[in-house]
Chain A
């Protein structure tokens, strides 16, 4: 790790004041579970860290309108276990508990989760080009090993995916990101927070330099009884998603859909929403055929990337399988939401499987 200066601040004003004049290589440090790792790898080389982890931004509370306020510095574990989240946003709990490990969730913060970088292995390898690290240097992933990579919204310049599970639920729940800077406060709708790579794959988010995420706001919702987070990955736990899907339904007395949310993880540079596909469900009585139509609509413009699936393998797009996998994950998530099953993974799903010491294959 490169030498750097370190400052601890007592309040939000001091944090914003400390990072702004310190120059372009000053960074906020919260839980550090991603930033410290990036610094070890030499990918992040800040000249100064402004430690904000103990700022009073760790509360979870109900807003006056019945929505939820989630402090940017509340840990992922605290957030997932909070009674208000369990009651009003069980989808968020499911998504958080699908990601990382208990040790990381105890330290990682909500604001930091939004700002974590892709886990593209070419991004992490300083020995190869990467447009996200060094703009204009190239993207070996787009013709390389691309199992973890995008099928939607990518370009040949960058096929990285956003790695978060939590953000997929936040996208589905129409979260808003509240930020502070020396210029004042700003609210960013979640759909505008993360970017597609476009011609600036080095930029992950629309956050401006010097802006500090203070809290997230979740509007009131009536999805608690019918929401699901489905995650498909290479092993049963502690791995990033190949594909994940957050689905939430609000049903009328006659069983028809009055409101719906669908968001995907592991498939794009940002959590993926398709409002047109969601609209196909409004007013309809849901079922598998309709869910399949929705999934196909979401994936209509999907395309595979990458070369051989393994270095010695035959030529071909190594993440072609994810298009089919995503279709099935969407259908499964909508079916589970309809049935009121909150997740296929994480401690809540494993607990349901009972007491035998040796579990079977991945649920």
Chain B
């Protein structure tokens, strides 16, 4: 295979199947933003240090900037645009974690918010955290330059601790 040839790639993104042809050096983040117009996932650092690009890959949170799109061929991807279509979306069309971020004022500029939201939903698929200190640590892969951390922890706590029966 020649280095320049695009490869066939099938991804389910927010419940829609996409059949694509993609060069192997295209990151999942660039594919989402530049070719599929899903610009909710943000390119903060492009080095896996800020978490703004976090998406769910088969339900697990990952940094889409560090994933080659071809290496997740066949996977189920959920971006911030697809969160409301997951279970539990309310009458307002928002995922409960989105509602909680609004209610708790858990953002200022909002640039990190899509990654924070996807990371929080990924957290909900993992072992339930027991308290706010644990949530803070387990959300530490998402930086917030505005420093909205107390409100972010509060928002995640409202949804996650409620769900786990605490």
Contact = CB atoms under 8 A, between A and B. Distances in A.
Contacts of B25: 1-4, 39
B160 interface: no
Contacts of B154: 357
B129 A347 contact: yes
Given A49-B24, A355-B131, A5 B3 contact: yes
A103 B48 contact: yes
A15 B154 CA distance: 47
Interface string A228-251: 000000001110000000000000
B29 to A, nearest CB: 11
Contacts of B2: 5
B48 A33 contact: yes
B48 A37 contact: yes
Interface residues of B, number: 46
Interface string A134-178: 000000000000000000000000000000000000000000000
A51 to B, nearest CB: 5
Contact of A32 (B67, B119, B127): B67
Interface string B123-166: 10011011111101110111000000010011001000000000
A10 to B, nearest CB: 13
Given A81-B127, A103-B63, 9 more contacts: A4-B24, A6-B1, A8-B70, A49-B24, A102-B138, A107-B60, A107-B63, A350-B136, A351-B129
Q: Choose among A238, A347, A351, A359 the residue with the greatest number of B CB atoms under 10 Å from its CB.
A: A347
Interface of B: 1-4, 7, 23-25, 27, 46-48, 51, 54, 57, 60-63, 66-68, 70-71, 73, 119, 122-123, 126-127, 129-134, 136-138, 140-142, 150, 153-154, 157
A351 B136 CA distance: 10
CB-CB nearest 6 A-B residue pairs? A101-B141, A6-B24, A237-B140, A350-B137, A355-B131, A351-B134
Contacts, number: 123
Nearest to A349: B137
A39 B126 CA distance: 31
Given A106-B61, A357-B150, A36 B7 contact: no
B119 A104 contact: no
Contacts of A237: 137, 140
Contacts of B3: 3-5, 47
Contact of B122 (A5, A102, A238, A350): A102
